[in-house]
């Protein structure tokens, strides 16, 4: 099992190019199930979850091609779908497999998808997805760890009024993909506003879907008979960009984050500036974090977009260990997303957890240690902590980080970090 060996203490310098967003590429790949024609996706990140989604689609006899050049392009064609089922052995390695449910029901009128189960950060239920499909006229049953959805009278989903009692990103994406081929109109209230949802809407519209209200929490979808193929470039990964901004800040370096979209990072940039981080925006696709000014404690509360992203909470906690004062971090989205805190405490951080709140007191000199990653963003935060710790650190179970970061050790090495992957 791979792990990273990191010698802390180097100030990062240089330019890093941001990859495509995993959380936009995954629904985009699932959306290809909606058409018999080829969908060409560009700027796909080369991360493990993408490979898993490709395997899942291939299991359904969907053609998935990654041309040799460029390796970040992907062509998917669901001319025929042999098996409208997402099996447990694939779903258990990637919860986002639930994103095949909506398009399969939309296109075929039925689907059987393994329930994803929980993960380290929480129970991760999909009840809101299923309730919304029922509101659209689907019949839902759960048996033997699978959810089966079907249109009772056969044919296509009627569509209907969906009100999400809680904002859900993949729930919104699933229902959008079920609605675009429905037999009537679907209105979705309290829809998620994340940029990845907007990116999916753009792809669906390119495929011929009729969707109004993109960018707002009220969406209206007129079902159409058929969707055609399309070509679409995936948006840059705002969480990867945010992670590298923190890497520059925590090491007091000068890092240029290129090929990103600063408008997707407004709340993070504001919070980093409040913490005393120097951030400049030389153009619409670049951010620069520079200088090693003294960091000051700031409170953070994670919220749905455009609030502070929960996927940046762990990374911010690492930075807070170096800030002067007490930072109160409140995690409002997931019930168990502080697993990285105990590992940081082993490195010398001063953190106390009280339910959904973590109080981080700094600055503390972190010592290089052996730590274990528990989930994707926790592993990123432990790498950040190791970059500023004194001495050598080992971060175990880096398969978590490989799920959502493309060759992070190579990108960090190019910025001067002493990091290598050892097995
Ligand atoms: C998406 O997960 C992202 N994953 C997550 O990124 C991200 O952390 C999350 O949105 C929040 O922004 C992908 O897009 C593939 P939710 P998702 O449904 O859709 C509860 C990463 O690090 N809920 O918006 O699963 C849920 O438990 C990952 O890349 C229900 O109760 O998140 C959570 O508390 C981690 N019932 C809250 O809603 C449901 O049916 C928000 O979850 C669905 C969700």
Pairing of strands 146-150, 110-114: antiparallel
Pair of tokens at residue 4: 């990273």
* Residue 308 CA from chain centroid, whole number: 14
For ligand 1, atom 4, the nearest C-alpha belongs to 23
| Banded model confidence at residue 119, pLDDT cuts 50, 70, 90 | confident
For ligand 1, atom 27, the nearest C-alpha belongs to 124
Instruction: Report the chain's mean pLDDT, rounded to a whole number.
Output: 95
What is residue 110's three-state secondary structure? strand
Q: Rounded to 10 degrees, what is the CA torsion of 299, 335, 30, 151?
A: -130
Could you tell me if the CB of 237 is within 6 A of ligand 1?
no
As a whole number of angstroms, the distance between CA 103 and CA 111 comes to 9
Whether the per-residue pLDDT at 67 is higher than 80: the answer is: no
27 touches 173 (CB < 8 A): yes
Q: Rounded to 10 degrees, what is the CA torsion of 405, 406, 408, 409?
A: 140
How many residues in total does the chain contain? 423
| Closest-lying ligand 1 atom to the alpha carbon of residue 171 | 18
pLDDT tens digits, 269-323:
999 999 999 999 999 999 999 866 799 999 999 999 999 999 999 999 999 999 9
pLDDT at 292: 64
Rounded percentage of the chain residues whose pLDDT exceeds 90: 91
Pocket test for ligand 1, best of 21, 23, 191, 331 (most atoms within 8 A of CB): 23
- Buried b / exposed e over 107-135, threshold 16 CB at 10 Å, is bebbbbbbbbeebbbeebebebbbebbeb
309 touches 351 (CB < 8 A): no
| Banded model confidence at residue 250, pLDDT cuts 50, 70, 90 | very high
Q: Domains of the chain by range and CATH?
A: 3-19+236-422 (3.65.10.10), 22-232 (3.65.10.10)
pLDDT at 83: 87
Find the mean pLDDT for residues 73-77: 96
| Closest-lying ligand 1 atom to the alpha carbon of residue 170 | 19
pLDDT at 1: 82
Q: How far does the centroid of ligand 1 lie from the alpha carbon of residue 24, in Å?
A: 13
Find the mean pLDDT for residues 121-150: 93
| Banded model confidence at residue 42, pLDDT cuts 50, 70, 90 | very high
What is residue 278's three-state secondary structure? strand
Pair of tokens at residue 13: 């310098």
Find the mean pLDDT for residues 243-268: 98
pLDDT at 65: 92
Enclosing H/E stretch for 142: strand 139-143
Find the mean pLDDT for residues 206-234: 98
Could you tell me if the CB of 127 is within 6 A of ligand 1?
yes
Q: Is 119 a catalytic residue?
A: yes
Q: How far does the centroid of ligand 1 lie from the alpha carbon of residue 168, in Å?
A: 6
pLDDT tens digits, 343-387:
999 999 999 999 999 999 999 999 999 999 999 999 999 999 999
What is residue 44's three-state secondary structure? coil
Enclosing H/E stretch for 9: none
Find the mean pLDDT for residues 83-109: 93
Phi, psi angle pair for 193, to nearest 5°: -110, 5
pLDDT at 201: 98
Q: Model's pTM, two decimal places?
A: 0.97
């Amino acid at each position: 099992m791979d792990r990273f060996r990191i010698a802390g203490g180097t100030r990062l310098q240089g330019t890093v190019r941001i990859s495509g967003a995993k959380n936009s590429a995954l629904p985009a790949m699932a959306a290809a199930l909606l058409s018999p024609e080829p969908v060409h996706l560009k700027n796909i990140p080369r991360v493990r979850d993408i490979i898993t989604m490709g395997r899942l689609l291939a299991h359904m006899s969907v053609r998935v091609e990654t041309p040799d050049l460029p390796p970040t392009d992907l062509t998917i064609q669901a001319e025929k779908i042999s098996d409208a089922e997402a099996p447990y052995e694939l779903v258990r390695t990637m919860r986002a497999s639930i994103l095949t449910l909506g398009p399969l029901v939309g296109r075929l009128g039925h689907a059987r998808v393994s329930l994803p189960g929980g993960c380290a950060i929480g129970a991760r239920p999909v009840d809101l997805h299923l309730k919304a499909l029922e509101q659209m006229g689907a019949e839902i049953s759960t048996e033997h760890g699978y959810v089966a959805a079907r249109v009772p009278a056969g044919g296509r989903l009627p569509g209907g009024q969906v009100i999400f009692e809680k904002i859900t990103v993949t729930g919104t994406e699933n229902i959008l993909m079920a609605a675009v081929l429905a037999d009537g109109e679907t209105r979705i209230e309290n829809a998620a506003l994340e940029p990845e949802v907007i990116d999916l809407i753009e792809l669906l519209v390119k495929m011929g879907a009729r969707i109004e209200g993109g960018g707002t929490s009220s969406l209206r979808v007129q079902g159409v008979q058929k969707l055609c193929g399309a070509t679409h470039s995936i948006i840059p990964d705002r969480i990867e960009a945010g992670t590298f901004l923190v890497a520059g800040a925590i090491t007091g370096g000068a890092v240029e984050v290129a090929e990103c979209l600063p408008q997707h990072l407004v709340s993070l940039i504001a919070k980093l500036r409040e913490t005393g981080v120097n951030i400049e925006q030389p153009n619409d696709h670049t951010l620069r974090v520079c200088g090693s000014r003294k960091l000051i404690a700031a409170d953070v509360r994670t919220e749905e977009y455009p609030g502070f992203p929960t996927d940046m909470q762990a990374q911010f906690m690492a930075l807070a260990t170096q800030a002067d004062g007490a930072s109160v971090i409140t995690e409002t989205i997931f019930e168990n997303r502080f697993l990285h805190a105990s590992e940081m405490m082993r490195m010398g951080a001063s953190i106390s957890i009280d339910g959904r709140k973590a109080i981080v007191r700094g600055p503390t000199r972190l010592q290089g240690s052996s730590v274990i990653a528990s989930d994707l963003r926790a592993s990123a935060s432990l790498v950040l902590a190791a970059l500023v710790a004194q001495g050598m650190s080992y971060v175990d179970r880096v398969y978590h980080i490989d799920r959502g970061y493309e060759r992070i050790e190579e990108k960090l090495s190019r910025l001067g970090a002493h990091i290598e992957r050892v097995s």
